[in-house]
Structure 1
């Protein structure tokens, strides 16, 4: 009898799966001990003792069993109380920091990852002593947590929400701490910051300032596969410790946009200034709410695996976003989310990329981190063993792509009653957006799109 083979993904070979196989199949039916591992993802399994028809049946059974194990393990996985606590604190940080950034004049687009900013603060706590360290916990609203639980909880949260296998998003997070060329990083600090927050550490010499800045930008570009070509053009303060976050985020929609349904439209930056941008379009069923009192729309767009969503908040018409931003609190977001209803929505979104850098040093100081950013007060002696550093820069840089990619759309609902008379969500003017993790309720990203890249079209009257 000829051997039968099938390809399976290697996670099928977990102990739970093999136990299920052994309990459900006869030992001679499947040669599980002699699986040929072809690469890191796939293996070749032989069915030497089964007729062709039965071999196919066992393949189906095997895949079904494996999928059940996956679902079961996903449902059973729970985060620790410390991770949940840090999810709450990072969400509070999101609104405080966003509101502070929004006050800055001449700032157009905003793009921050609150959970990553929380890890920056936690890094300062690792490197700080006395009141410098305790102040970090106060800013994070984590005074009740022991230091150990703060770091293990935040590390667990970051690992969970950024896992591409379970979240099915593209999210590259790269963190580096730069110190002056004279600094010597303490071994314990290096180990702890790598363990919890995956930080690299590097010395930098600003005597040749242009070369130093080029080095920073080259690292950021390389670590984001070229998506973030530049973090900064200048560094004003060069005598302290510098935190750099270089990130790339690309949502993968639960239902993709059709790549051919893209055309050039006008985006109204203001009533008197319009730029040309590619717009992508689709109609589907989404959580939708019209807040008539505040004259705005709220749209919830699930990402692949539905473990997180992009939430869009847009005024009826083009206007400065100050009015909406004053409304934006955790309580208000929760209220909007509770009022979402499944609705047919015709969506048009800019298909653009964003590259945004914020130097958060000043803003973190304004929301309470006053010691670490002050040369005369900072005690970051856990970083080097000496009280010779302060936090001079926190460059928080992200590239983001609004694109069509995602899961195949459900073609069965097209032409059905469900999609008749859809509401219109036409994002041709500034809006606020968030990425919210549905398991932890943490806010992974928060931002606004005010000025997309595009050529000026015309002046409006």
Structure 2
């Protein structure tokens, strides 16, 4: 039997893992462009193993960002960020390669295996189910005097479908060239990512992810009403609250929070919504949000009938990932020497 339950406290929506929402970022890693030789004797890396590494990295990255931006609505796509960094990982060597492998959770995976599994994952994501559109696009822009080796270019284009180009950063229209690529890759959602190219910029690693999904269980527009929503600082704000019909959802209830999986399309993609209990807090939830707990929570989800009420929301988020990646241990990749 379905019961109507109106959300009356702050909630957390996670756009982590493969259910990525539209976002983009830029970073300027090491200018090393030498392609480290791949192992000739390689053991194939299962796609599941690569996804596990991406998820571990994603939770570490999210936790690091939360440390400095706790009061903001944070939106990241670890799968697309991982793909972009794995592409540049092919050009790393020595201590830089070791640091990147550790941060990206790739230490136990062969380079060729990572590349081949990445290609398979990109292919799977590029052919989603009905009602879902998901695009991941990678590009690497180097200052004109930074050459790329042919093997690095081959791997980037073959495995990561990357757009790799050198560009004269001194030209006034250089930023416009990059911004056009970003706009085209996000279907116009992000029109101007780079405001100005600085004199000491040598490399831009830019990743764009576009996600558009239809709810599997749609909300009725006539059932959207203004309701109270409680903010982190204790204030209450009236927001449009969407309400769906009675349906069966994957659901979890603990002594700290409720969680529900809200599927898109045919159910391969989902948004997971977490609602901390009134006696708990978002800060407490963040403290236990890691891959180990995530896997446990996912294994405990059970089918349960119910009616979901969810605030309609829209927000933008932009972050330069340099500091977070340095804090995680990838600082050597940003060394300009």
Same fold (TM over 0.5): yes
Q: Deviations over 1:42-63 (max 9, x none)?
A: xxxxxxxxxxxxxxxxxxxxxx
Classify the secondary structure of the residue corresponding to 1:343: strand
Q: Tell me whether 1:185 sits opposite 2:141 in the alignment.
A: no
The structural deviation recorded for 1:205 is: 4.1
Match of 2:328 in 1: 367
Q: Pick the structure with more strand per residue.
A: 1
Q: Please show how residues 316-335 of structure 1 align to structure 2 within 5 Å.
A: 316-317=277-278, 321-335=282-296
The structural deviation recorded for 1:326 is: 0.3
The structural deviation recorded for 1:199 is: 1.2
Number of aligned residue pairs: give it: 293
Partners of 1:167 and 1:307 within 8 A in 2: no
The structural deviation recorded for 1:264 is: 4.1
The structural deviation recorded for 1:249 is: 1.5
Distance in 2 (CA, whole Å) between partners of 1:197 and 1:237 is: 29
Q: Kindly report structure 1 stretches of 4+ aligned residues shifted beyond 6 Å.
A: none
The 10-residue stretch of structure 1 (165-174 or 329-338) with the greater mean CA deviation from structure 2: 165-174
Q: Please show how residues 53-92 of structure 1 align to structure 2 within 5 Å.
A: 81-92=45-56
Q: Deviations over 1:281-327 (max 9, x none)?
A: 113221222222x2x11111222222232211121349862221001
The structural deviation recorded for 1:89 is: 0.6
1:131 to 95, 100, 122: 95
Larger Rg: 1
Q: Which runs of 5+ in 2 are unaligned?
A: 1-43
The structural deviation recorded for 1:219 is: 2.6
Distance in 2 (CA, whole Å) between partners of 1:252 and 1:358 is: 27
Could you tell me the TM-score, scaled by structure 1's length?
0.58
Q: Please show how residues 1-400 of structure 1 align to structure 2 within 5 Å.
A: 81-105=45-69, 108-160=72-124, 162-166=125-129, 168-207=131-170, 211-233=173-195, 238-271=200-233, 273=235, 277-283=239-245, 284-292=247-255, 294=256, 296-317=257-278, 321-376=282-337
Partners of 1:277 and 1:351 within 8 A in 2: yes
Q: Which runs of 5+ in 1 are unaligned?
A: 1-79, 377-461
Classify the secondary structure of the residue corresponding to 1:322: helix
After superposition, the CA RMSD in angstroms is 2.7
